[in-house]
Structure 1
Amino acid sequence: PGMKPGANDFIAIRDTIRERGPKLGLEIDDELDSMPATPPPVIGAETKAPTIAPDQSESRKEADEERVRLARIIKELRLRVQTLENSHSEEVGKLRYAAQQKEEILNAQLEKVMGQFKTLKSQNVALREQNDSLKAQVISLTQSLEEQSQQSQSQGSELEVLTEQYKLALEQRIEEERAKLSEQIHAKEMDVLTRDDLISQLKQELGELKRNRVKEASTGAQKVLEKLESLGLSFIAFHPGAGHISISADQIGSYMENPVAFAARKCLVTEDHYRAWLAHYENPVCQVPVGADQQACGKRVIRVEVPNQFKPGVSDCNANRCPNCRNDSAIDNVLRFR
């Protein structure tokens, strides 16, 4: 508050309370000595010293003492606020340093796990390529046996029996190799899934760490805001349609998270409705699509000043003028007047 002679905020508050107090239900104590409205003379000015009555001199002395007392209190409060801010900054710095250390550890673990995952993935690809190669060999051997079988049919049934035995033995061996490779691939896939789960868990822990860091930092800030609010400070924000909004300390977090949604609640509308009205309020034009490219008409319409009176699709379009945008002298006169 200003304490300059001739511009004393406390005197202005006192005069305002005297003028409007009865309308607000405030009782005025007429026995209190009134403070002088005339500022003290400037030191060094060549003016004649006025004659001061004893009562006025005593009242002025009390006012000066009150001014000195208030100045001392304000200085102490500012010092306390500065001390709280310094303490909070130091605490936030420590928390941020600890969080950064843990984040670096988690990032290192994550990089290690990702390296293992890439190795397993490359091994899995190599096993699949080996399996494909064995399948190609089986097909080649089968074709070769069939050709030999066709050529040796004339050599008698004994050769056919030997060929069939060899084919069965080869198929059995191939089946064993295929089963072995399938087990290895399944084991590798399970390892990959386990690594994926570990990576997801580490990401969740990292996200939780970041959220906790923000929460801890905001908790210290919340204490400072509550302390400032207890000292008489108030937080005011202006939003179109809602005007000047008073925000308490416990509402600062939700306001900073989404100011538009906060203003929408004050206007008793949803956030989407408020955003649509805000676009109309800032640029009140017709939104009816016209033409082959379906672009908005763009003609001026009457702006709706109150959010809860705005109707999307109705207030932001002129049905009488669209889709052909016909001249409407009535709306033109209103817009020209506005």
Structure 2
Amino acid sequence: MGRETITEAVMFFDQGHVVKEMLYPEFEAVLDGVVQINDFRNLLVKSAFVEIDSTLSVRSAVLFMIDFDEQGYADKDWNIPLQHLAYSAGLGPDLGAGPIKLACRSQCPVSWHQAQMWDPEMSPDASHLVSIKRAAETNNLGILADRKPPPAPAAVAASQPAEISPPILDQSVPILDAPLAADPGIESRALERRLSKQYQKEHRDKVANLIKRQRLHISTLKTRFKEELMQTNQLLQQEKQQQVKKLDALKKEMAMQSRQNETLKRTMKQQLVEFRRSREEFAQQLQDMESEEMGDIARIKAQYEDQMAQRLQAATAELQDQIEVRDVEMAYRNELDGQMQEELESLRSRVEELTLRQSDDVLEDLSHKGVVFVAYHPGVGHITIPLHDIPKYMNHTMGYVASKCFVSEEQYNQWLRHYESPNCDARTTDGSRCSVRLDRIDSPGMYVDGHSNHCDKHRGLSAVEAVKAARSSQ
């Protein structure tokens, strides 16, 4: 047999489907800037370098991304050794001719090219690898295919002598000795064992391929989740920085308003001083005029007092209005400050929620794999916690355990103190605890406060009655 013919091709994707195919020499012309692709202007395109054999079966795939400029030319600085990656790639899923070699972001043999790779969708509804397989079988590239079917079983049987001979099986199964082959029953059992061993080997190979495919799927999902989490954290950090900047601007504006209020207060004090000075001047004038005419003095004095009262009232009202306006503005700024603080707390809660969501995904993954969450608490023993009850258990553990004991949280906490220290809680005359050893109540539902935690001497007495009994004993 001659060397198997391998055809190298490049396929371009859009929304999970192959939209364009070309042979690798044509793709090299695109990289050299000889050919442009108008359909990919200003786009970052997901692509796949594929090796196809003469039976139109996919043997290897390298999933990479390439950028095109405004005129449809490929990025001049793009340089990924596709053939080397295809040669050194790890095994991927079986596309009909055995496991293919697959290089992607989660399975990249050269780490510094990982940023320019991408992971395929592995779900049954949308699989990039299935799209590659269908495109290869459609053969839009015009590959010279050799699809000679294997010889039929009847033709093989006709070409052999007319005697009973075993079918072609796995060569690893030992052949029976000649004396045993003479017995048809022994040969039938040997044939059955061979078929069983060959079936087991095929079954193990299928299971191994399925496990490899699932591992690759899990690896791609983890990589995608990490990228989404990093992007979300970056967006939250940017939003947080913007909110902090707004808060700083509001604080500066509040400080400026405070300075303006102080300036207004100083102005009002200066005007009051000037009014007092004017009043003293008018008083002096009145004293000078008393010797001339008492009537004029009284009239001028009354006029002066009216004018001064009006001016003082007007100035006071004006300044009071200004102060009230400033106070309203200060209250509004304080309210904005509180709102910004609440928004910051909300952002922190969202970051914590994303972190908890990652933990919830891990718990859900463990639950699907059969992991059971068990906790031990006095009074209820070992309890199995369902996955949907884990947040309730983490946020309010004692309340959750008390509900399992069919008692209130307060009664469970009282019983727990009694269970950990079964002593009398009653107070003696000197104010100390009685501390007489009691029989421990093992069930929270059987515990009665004031009865189960008191000795025979103090049982049945209320706090007031206990104090009266102590005083009477004195």
Band the TM-score falls in, shorter-chain normalisation: 0.5 to 0.7
Instruction: Output the CA distance in 1 between the equivalents of 2:216 and 2:417.
Output: 45
Contact 1:287 1:296 in 2 (8 A): yes
Contact 1:235 1:246 in 2 (8 A): yes
- Please tell me the residue identity of whatever aligns with 1:200: G
| Residue aligning to 1:304 | 441
| Residue aligning to 1:265 | 403
* Residue 145 of structure 1, CA deviation: 6.1
| Residue aligning to 1:104 | 241
Contact 1:237 1:247 in 2 (8 A): yes
- State the TM-score, normalizing by the size of structure 2: 0.47
Question: Structure 1 residue 206 and structure 2 residue 361: aligned?
Answer: no
2:454 to 300, 317, 332: 317
Alignment of 1:160-309 (within 5 A): 160-292=298-430, 294-309=431-446
Contact 1:81 1:228 in 2 (8 A): no
2:256 to 101, 119, 132: 119
Deviations 1:303-332 (A, max 9, x none): 2211122222332222515869xxxxxxxx
* Residue 185 of structure 1, CA deviation: 0.9
- Please tell me the residue identity of whatever aligns with 1:186: E
Deviations 1:66-95 (A, max 9, x none): 9x89x9699988887777666555544443
- Please tell me the residue identity of whatever aligns with 2:253: Q
* Residue 244 of structure 1, CA deviation: 1.3
Could you tell me the percent identity over the aligned residues? 26
- Please tell me the residue identity of whatever aligns with 1:248: P
* Residue 191 of structure 1, CA deviation: 0.9
Instruction: Output the CA distance in 1 between the equivalents of 2:426 and 2:283.
Output: 76
Instruction: Output the CA distance in 2 between the equivalents of 1:305 and 1:81.
Output: 47
- Please tell me the residue identity of whatever aligns with 1:98: L
Q: Secondary structure at the match of 2:449?
A: coil
* Residue 173 of structure 1, CA deviation: 1.5
Pair 1:280–1:107, CA change in 2 (3 A): farther
Contact 1:289 1:295 in 2 (8 A): yes
Pair 1:255–1:100, CA change in 2 (3 A): farther
- State the TM-score, normalizing by the size of structure 1: 0.63
Pair 1:314–1:168, CA change in 2 (3 A): same
Instruction: Output the CA distance in 2 between the equivalents of 1:126 and 1:285.
Output: 69
- Please tell me the residue identity of whatever aligns with 1:105: Q
Pair 1:280–1:93, CA change in 2 (3 A): farther
Alignment of 1:8-47 (within 5 A): none
* Residue 158 of structure 1, CA deviation: 0.8
Instruction: Output the CA distance in 2 between the equivalents of 1:239 and 1:167.
Output: 85
* Residue 204 of structure 1, CA deviation: 2.2
* Residue 170 of structure 1, CA deviation: 1.9
* Residue 186 of structure 1, CA deviation: 1.6
Contact 1:226 1:250 in 2 (8 A): no
Instruction: Output the CA distance in 2 between the equivalents of 1:144 and 1:290.
Output: 82
**Structure 2 unmatched ranges of 5 or more:** 1-188, 460-465, 468-474
* Residue 184 of structure 1, CA deviation: 0.9
Contact 1:304 1:315 in 2 (8 A): yes
What count of residue pairs does the alignment treat as equivalent? 263
Which structure has the highest helix share of the two? Answer: 1
Instruction: Output the CA distance in 2 between the equivalents of 1:176 and 1:137.
Output: 15
Q: Secondary structure at the match of 1:237?
A: strand
From the CA coordinates, give the structure whose radius of gyration is larger. 2
